[in-house]
Amino acid sequence: MDMSFTTLTEWNQQEWEKLKPIYKEAFPHGAKPESILRSMLGRGIATLHGGFIGDEAAAMAVTGLSGPQEARNLILDYMAVRKDLRGQGFGSLFLRQIRGWAVQKHAVKAIIIEAEAEDSDINRARLSFWERSGFISTAYVHTYIWVPEPYRALALPLDPEFEVKDEGQSLFRSITAFHEKAYRNTFSNTGKSDIRPE
């Protein structure tokens, strides 16, 4: 299995057009609009990753850093594999590529994600993938105002000293701070975002 790995810290519309169908298919509701993703890369708060088989996009992810330099974590905001390639090990490979990049480039202590917490076959399969990949699920379930589904946080420790000292609330503080930073430039004087997730 061979998949090349690319990382973009600046917006590249041509590369995005290759990755966008995977993003749109995997996240039809609640995903950040393209304008927000472009702004996140432009402001240096996010990175866009692609997995390619030859010239064809196979996987995509959006990540961002959280916390001070000495205790830096990676927020895995979105990650998806092209539908026809799922179940063949490309998700695990892509996650290992992201993990290697995060450790080598930023010396992160952990990777943090949020996953849908509702009990369904799809959500159980997703949770199983993350746990097989080494992520530790937390008990706290978070509900956002703007999205109907509840979420739980998971962490993949990459440093022996990393530990979650509560039921996941601290992970959600990092995740929420990252989301707020993503939408910060779109807030009006009322403090409410003028742009809603698609």
CA angle 75, 80, 82 (to 5 degrees): 165
Q: How far apart are CA 152 and CA 172, in angstroms?
A: 8
pLDDT recorded at residue 116: 87
Strands 73-81, 150-157: pairing is: unpaired
pLDDT recorded at residue 29: 78
| CATH label, 4-186, candidates 3.40.50.300, 3.40.1010.10, 3.40.50.620, 3.40.630.30 | 3.40.630.30
**pTM of the complete model beyond 0.85:** yes
Reported in sequence order, the residue ranges of 91-144 that DSSP labels E, i.e. its strands, are: 110-116, 136-143
Domain residues of the chain, as ranges? 4-186
pLDDT recorded at residue 191: 39
Mean pLDDT split into 10-residue runs, the chain, 198 residues = 93 97 90 94 96 96 93 96 94 97 96 91 90 94 82 95 93 91 61 35
pLDDT recorded at residue 185: 63
Q: How far apart are CA 44 and CA 194, in angstroms?
A: 21
> Comparing C-alpha atoms, which of 131, 123, 177 is closest to residue 151?
123
Q: Do residues 110 and 157 make contact, with C-beta atoms less than 8 angstroms apart?
A: yes
pLDDT recorded at residue 12: 96
pLDDT recorded at residue 192: 37
> Comparing C-alpha atoms, which of 40, 50, 41 is closest to residue 18?
50
Q: Do residues 186 and 36 make contact, with C-beta atoms less than 8 angstroms apart?
A: yes
Straight-line distance from the first to the last Cα atom of the chain, in angstroms, rounded to the nearest whole number: 34
